[in-house]
């Protein structure tokens, strides 16, 4: 007789907790101590001189990142949110412009436009990659469109050829939000600087991290100068930029990485290729286990692309399995140990609510006493139903598995797959006993 699923009182398949990530080691400790011994925790100055580009650790970290993946320029920042703000400023976004964004991403991928007085315009996503759909983007183009923010969601590249085919003939800049996709490639090119510029997050939850931080990348020298200016109080350098950058005048902020963070980043960067290879092995194994099960659609990696596997996205068909998404998720999670945090959670439903449904867009108010910049674009809408694919993924279809990470093993992934299979086997009984849960 087959053992009952845990949600119906059976014994869970696994009781041992999934091992936690351990992100800091001897290399990071040694790097930090060396910086402390140097007594230089930040080498930046907000004025002309060598210190305008940071201290020795910052410059070494940027050079190492650029060399590792073949970027002409890498510019570190204190967060990827800061990086997105700098990127839109560097490509010339300003008040009254429109920036086409994904509705299915972290909020800063859209609010970065508001920092420059521009208006986010949301286009729908592709149901396979969960990234911006170029056809949907083309339908949102207006005379005011200045930039497109292409998010490489969950580590998979967006359709850059399709997006650039829409953008380049119209003089629209494409900025790549590769926060979740370090080392991912699109048709043999590393993501990040296929468009005008882009970059990566160094937040704690990312593949490698410095606690908080980010790295911008660019191929164009002038764009890189603009990024460096915005990062470090660019208003202090009128006419003094090496090579005469006086043609671009911008105010900036303090978006600078510290020497301690850069030293940690240098140590972390040496591990990135190995971490990506490990996640690829786990994801490939999991896909092989799940591919034959109706109602469970494993992620697809587009031809001539690689994914960084930030998480493992699954499309779930409730009508095929016979269980609501919520009940299926609860049943799978019941077979496995209670998680300590997100990264040990077997399944999470929906990702984020489409951004345009958030209060800031519904009330068209980004600032306390003004409707600016939304009042500059009264025809831009944020109604429910605006992006039906994104809404469907959020409400009904998408499940995320964070277990394709280090230091998990093939056996850990097998335990998750076995939990899914047990629930699928007993789906009729679970529905009979619990209904819609």
The catalytic residue positions are: 206
Q: In what order do the strands lie in the sheet with 189-190?
A: 189-190, 185-186, 305-306
Q: What is the DSSP string of 235-274?
A: GG-TTTSTTT-TT------B-PPPHHHHHHHHHHHTTHHH
Pairing relationship of beta strands 73-77 and 119-122 according to DSSP bridges: unpaired
Q: What is the DSSP string of 152-217?
A: -GGGPPP-HHHHHHHHGGGT-EEEEE-TT-TT-EETTEETTSSSSEEEEE-STTSSS-SSS-EEEE
Handedness of CA 27, 29, 32, 36 (dihedral sign): negative
Q: What are phi and psi for residue 376, nearest 5 degrees?
A: -80, -10
Task: Tell me the CA end-to-end span of the chain in Å, nearest whole number.
Answer: 25
- Buried-exposed string 368-377: b where 16+ CB fall within 10 A, e elsewhere: eeeebbbebb
User: How far apart (Å, rounded) are the C-alpha atoms in residues 432 and 419?
Assistant: 19
Place of tokens 């436009």: 113
User: How far apart (Å, rounded) are the C-alpha atoms in residues 350 and 156?
Assistant: 17
Place of tokens 């315009």: 121
Query: Do 90 and 197 meet the contact criterion of CB atoms below 8 Å apart?
Result: yes
Under DSSP, the state recorded for 349 is E
Greatest alpha-carbon span in the chain: 81
User: How far apart (Å, rounded) are the C-alpha atoms in residues 310 and 280?
Assistant: 10
User: How far apart (Å, rounded) are the C-alpha atoms in residues 352 and 145?
Assistant: 25
* Chain-centre distance for alpha carbon 31: 27
User: How far apart (Å, rounded) are the C-alpha atoms in residues 335 and 400?
Assistant: 16
Query: Do 297 and 428 meet the contact criterion of CB atoms below 8 Å apart?
Result: no
Under DSSP, the state recorded for 394 is I
């Amino acid at each position: 007789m087959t053992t009952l699923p845990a949600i119906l009182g059976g014994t869970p398949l696994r009781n041992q907790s999934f091992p936690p990530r351990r992100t800091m080691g001897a290399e990071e400790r040694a790097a930090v101590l060396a910086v402390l011994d140097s007594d230089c925790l930040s080498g930046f100055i907000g004025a002309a001189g060598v210190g305008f580009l940071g201290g020795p650790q910052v410059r070494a970290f940027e050079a190492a990142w650029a060399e590792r993946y073949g970027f002409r320029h890498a510019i570190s920042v204190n967060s990827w949110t800061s990086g997105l703000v700098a990127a839109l400023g560097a490509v010339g976004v300003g008040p009254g412009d429109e920036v086409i964004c994904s509705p299915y991403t972290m909020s800063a991928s859209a609010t970065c436009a508001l920092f420059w007085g521009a208006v986010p315009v949301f286009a729908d996503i592709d149901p396979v990659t969960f990234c911006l759909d170029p056809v949907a983007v083309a339908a949102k183009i207006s005379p005011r469109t200045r930039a497109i923010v292409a998010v490489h969601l969950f580590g998979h590249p967006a359709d850059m050829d399709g997006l650039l085919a829409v953008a380049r003939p119209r003089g629209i800049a494409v900025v790549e939000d590769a926060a979740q996709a370090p080392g991912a490639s699109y048709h043999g090119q590393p993501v990040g600087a296929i468009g005008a510029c882009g970059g990566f997050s160094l937040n704690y939850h990312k593949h490698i991290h410095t606690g908080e931080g980010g790295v911008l990348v660019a191929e164009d020298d002038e764009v890189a100068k603009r990024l460096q200016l915005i990062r470090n109080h660019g208003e202090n350098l009128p006419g003094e930029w090496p090579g005469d950058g006086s043609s671009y005048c911008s105010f900036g902020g303090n978006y600078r990485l510290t020497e301690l963070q850069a030293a940690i980043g240098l140590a972390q960067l040496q591990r990135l290729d190995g971490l990506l290879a490990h996640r690829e092995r786990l994801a490939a194994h999991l896909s092989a286990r799940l591919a034959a099960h109706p109602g469970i659609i494993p992620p697809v990696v587009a031809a001539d692309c690689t994914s960084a596997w930030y998480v493992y996205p699954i499309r779930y068909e409730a009508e095929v399995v016979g269980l609501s998404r919520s009940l299926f998720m609860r049943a799978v999670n019941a077979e496995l140990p209670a998680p300590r945090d997100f990264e040990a959670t077997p399944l999470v439903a929906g990702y984020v609510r489409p951004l345009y449904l958030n209060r800031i867009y519904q009330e068209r108010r980004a600032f306390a006493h003004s409707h600016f910049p939304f009042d500059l674009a009264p025809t831009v809408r944020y109604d429910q139903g605006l992006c039906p694919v994104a809404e469907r993924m959020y409400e009904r279809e998408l499940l995320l598995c964070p277990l394709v990470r280090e230091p998990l093993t093939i056996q850990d992934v097998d335990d998750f797959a076995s939990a899914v299979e047990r629930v699928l086997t007993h789906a009729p009984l679970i529905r009979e006993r619990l209904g819609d849960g």
